[in-house]
Amino acid sequence: MKQKEAVYVISDSVGETAEFVVKAVATQFNGGSVDIRRNSYVEDAEDIEDVIILARQNNRSIIAYTLVVPELKRYLDRRAAEEGILAIDLLQPLMKAFEQKFEKAPNQQPGLMRKLDDEYFRKIEAIEFAVKYDDGRDPRGIIRSDIVLIGVSRTSKTPLSMYLAHQRYKVANVPLVPEVKPPEELFNVPRNKCVGLVISPDKLNEIRRERLKALGLTSQANYASFERILEELDYAEKIMKRVGCPVINVSNKAVEETASLILDILKKERSHT
């Protein structure tokens, strides 16, 4: 009976990269009917030997591997040559090119791709969190967040939430409006987790007037009036004092600058607890 084509994938990490490459190549040959058998987290010669035994029993098999630990790679190359098994290093040609062209040495550390993936998914999770708990939509986010931002409208709460989310912080923000009672959860937030955002009345008036203009509304609306602005800022200050959180004036600061200040302040607060 004719043996089926098989590719044994060996990796000192998950092996997803190697399997993906093998599948991409296999699709070019009769629709990719090759049998792919992944062997993840290979850590020693014994793990490699298990695959060598299986591949030796099928003369229509190949070993494709992504091993970055030199000792494991050398062992696999030697044993495959001894057994007459074709073993392909999927990383070496490109790693060699990187090394020569960029004049850098590889880390030779397994699992780095998985760490990058984990970082990526944490960032996506934080972004989704910031969207879900933006503008006080759900007070449950206050308890679940890494950082809580509070302030009146147009103090950059949403842009700051998104910027910090890209740095993998889960951020909830809560608008402070005199007519709306803040959620009770806000007063249970630890001091080292919440930051109040304030702004000068002149700057806020300017921003709100521009906002109204962009919306096609008259700049004389109550939203941009000095009387209303002073009322909101006074109310916000009282709430921030009650919460007991540190406060940042965002009047002439870029989002990046304010975000850096937030992280510095919270780091100091947490180091004192």
Domains of the chain, start order? 6-110 (3.40.50.20), 116-271 (3.40.50)
> What's the mean pLDDT in 261-273?
84
Residue 105 pLDDT > 90: no
pLDDT tens figures, 152-207: 999 999 999 999 999 999 999 999 999 999 999 999 999 889 999 999 999 999 99
Closest-CA residue to 249 (of 202, 209, 200, 208): 200
Name the amino acid, one letter, at 159: P
Of 114 and 253, which is predicted with more confidence? Answer: 253
What residues are designated binding site for ADP? 151-158
Residue 273 pLDDT > 70: no
**Global pTM exceeds 0.95:** no
Give pLDDT, residue 150.
Answer: 98
> What's the mean pLDDT in 51-68?
92
Residue 146 pLDDT > 90: yes
What residues are designated binding site? 151-158
Q: What percent of the chain has pLDDT over 70?
A: 93
Residue 246 pLDDT > 80: yes
Give pLDDT, residue 225.
Answer: 92
Give pLDDT, residue 30.
Answer: 67
pLDDT tens figures, 201-245: 999 999 999 989 888 887 678 898 999 999 999 999 999 999 999
